[in-house]
Structure 1
Amino acid sequence: MDNLNLRHLFYFWTIAREGSIVRAAEHLDLTPQTLSGQLATFETAVGGALFRRANRSLQLTDFGHTVLGYADEMFQTAQALSDVISQPPEERPLSLSIGIAASIHKLIAYHLTEPVLTLKREVRLSCRTGDPDELLKRLAQRELDLVLTDRQPDSAEAGRFRTYRLASSSMSLFAIPQLAEPLRENFPRSLNGQPFLATSLKAPYVTALMNWFASQNLRVKVVAEVDDSALIKVFGRQGVGYFAAPTAIREEVCRQYQVEHIARISEVRDTLYAVTRSGKSHNAAVQELIKERPELGDRLEKTDP
């Protein structure tokens, strides 16, 4: 940066875009002699010729093309920044970086983030999935604005974060039609020894589901453990076994993966939270996301058998 004069770089960029020193000088309201001198000073500073003369015109050297590529990015970014600064504060785009626990079902994650996509203000959304503990570390380091998770932070970390309960849904079981029909008969005894697709993630609903199986004296035959909720559904669509998903997304799961609903397990629930840093956030997108949305868990369960 010691050798990089941004004004000289801007002069070079303008010359390259205009194709000649004369036209660039007119654009910059400088004399051609002054602009030519500024270009020579910049070439000396960067240690190489940026243009060569050919048939009374200027052509970029290889080095000039390289410098121009960086200059294009820099000044396009500067123009975008200028456009943002010129807007009234209430109309400027919002940046929102969200961490999403990998154990949250992807359709649920979409429904939880959907409200910010319908705000009147533009929202530049970035989503990262991963382990909840790692996401909370990134939240504390201000790399994230908010974390969507299915478990609350440890009590030892309570002072660092604020937790908001967003929604809760019972869990349901699903399978392809050939498996679902016999499993619905004599439920839950019909599940005994049948192939089950389990998640290897340490989600609270998984522990509750396994405890429910035990309370029913069912032998669970796990045929695969998968650490991705979407991949489990793909396995289920291929008939490998039955799987669990929140009742709140029952219709979407059935439609997207060509499976059928077996039964709802009201005793097992998936509860979701938004976690922010302690202290009130002034980001309007964050404020929109931390609103409780009971309709997400209730909308389908009201009509469940």
Structure 2
Amino acid sequence: MLNYKQLHYFWRVARSGSIARASEQLDLAPQTLSGQIGLLENSLKTTLFRRVGRGLELTETGRLALSYAEEIFEIGAEMEQALSGGTVKLPTQFRVGIADVMPKSIVYKLLAPAMSLAEPIKIICKEDKLERLLADLVIHRLDLVLSDRPMPADINIKGYSHKLVECGVSFFATPTLAKQYSKDFPTSLNQAPLLVPNLDTAMRGRLIRWLDMQRIRPRIVGEFDDSALMKAFGQAGIGIFTAPTMIADEVEHQHGVVSIGQTNEILERFYAISVERRSSHPAVIAINSASI
């Protein structure tokens, strides 16, 4: 039988990121905490953490265990509140998976309609690779997945892709780089330092094809999984980067950069993927019905 005290210790360590911090929070010796987690791993016949330098990192099984632990202790807190204070109306949970290549400000805009419903919604976001999110979607651990591409044709999962938004792409640079490369756009991009998304993104292929059609050969000085990290390098003046035109003002304001050009010949597309053609979940209906 599962030892819930040991599970609670695991949960606290996973949330705090280290045994030392969790031991301070729980007022327990680190050796005691480490021993209890070891007993939990033995009882589950699995490894929940792996050592990375001086820290700890959740294993794949550990991440799965943490998702269950979050639900268990959340329900426990709700039960305590309900029993001590009378009837409690619980918000509807909305579990959404976010492909890790998605720009965070776009994610917020896409999810905003769900947060404006009359009935309260509790949103639970999980960021990961698209393939792993789709695996969770098919076993109903997620209600919806947001991605920069539709359901891949080569994945044996029955699902439905709903295009939420489509927009052009803008190119951004620091004011110093902009003075050098903004004149005669897009020809000015030839031999310009360019920061690009990695090969896992739908945007990468569209960008390279467009550059080839324009006979432009930039110097690719960086490739990034994370669009936020790419913007940070762009903000530091390492190179020119792209972002959806619909958030151009926000990108300029947040990162101190300026747009040096824009094209609608490259289109960013963002999708909501579900396993039901017509979902009954109010948050999914609101998102699929919204026009951004």
- TM-score scaled to structure 1, two decimals? 0.67
8 Å Cα contact 1:165/1:292 also seen in 2: no
Q: Please name the residue that 1:196 is paired with.
A: 194
| Residue aligning to 2:65 | none
- Equivalent positions of 1:153-232 (< 5 A) are 153-155=151-153, 160-232=158-230
Inter-partner Cα distance in structure 1 for 2:90 and 2:75: 20
TM-aligned CA deviation for residue 164 of structure 1: 1.1
How far off its partner does 1:80 sit? 3.8
Residue 285 of structure 1: CA displacement? 1.2
Cα distance in 1, alignment partners of residues 237 and 225 from structure 2: 18
Q: What stretches of structure 2 of length at least 5 have no aligned partner?
A: 2-72
TM-score, normalised relative to structure 2:
0.69
Quickly say closer, same or farther: Cα 1:198–1:73, change in 2 above 3 A: closer
Rounded Cα–Cα distance in structure 2 between residues aligned with 1:73 and 1:94: 13
Distance in 1, matches of 2:94 and 2:221, equals: 39
How far apart, CA to CA, are the structure 1 residues paired with 2:127 and 2:85? 29
Structure 2 residue 104 is the aligned partner of structure 1 residue 96: no
Amino acid paired to 2:79 = A
CA deviations over 1:201-237 (Å, ceiling 9, x no partner) = 4222211110111111111211111110011101111
For the 8 Å contact 2:151–2:160, the answer to whether it is kept is no
| RMSD between superposed Cα atoms in Å | 2.6
| Matching of residues 32-111 of structure 1 within 5 Å | 76-80=77-81, 86=87, 92-111=90-109
In 2, the alpha carbon distance for the partners of 1:119 and 1:244 equals 33
1:109 alignment partner, SS class: helix
Q: Provide the secondary structure at the position in 1 that maps to 2:265.
A: strand
Q: Which residue of 1 aligns with 2:140?
A: 142
Opposite residue 77 of structure 1, the aligned amino acid is E
Displacement after TM superposition at 1:291 (Å): 1.9
**Rounded Cα–Cα distance in structure 2 between residues aligned with 1:198 and 1:80:** 49
Identify the match of residue 283 of structure 2 among 257, 282, 285: 285
The alignment partner of 1:224 has SS state of: strand
Assess, with a 3 A threshold, how the Cα gap between structure 1 residues 83 and 199 changes in structure 2: closer, same or farther: farther
Change in CA separation of 1:112 and 1:240 when aligned onto 2, cut-off 3 Å:
same
TM-aligned CA deviation for residue 96 of structure 1 = 0.6
Identity of aligned residues (%): 32
Task: Label 1:268 to 1:158 Cα distance change in 2 as closer, same or farther (>3 A).
Answer: farther
State the aligned residue count: 222
Does the CA-based 8 Å contact 2:148-2:268 persist in structure 1? yes
Q: Deviations over 1:51-110 (max 9, x none)?
A: xxxxxxxxxxxxxxxxxxxxx9986432445699946xxx65110111111122111111
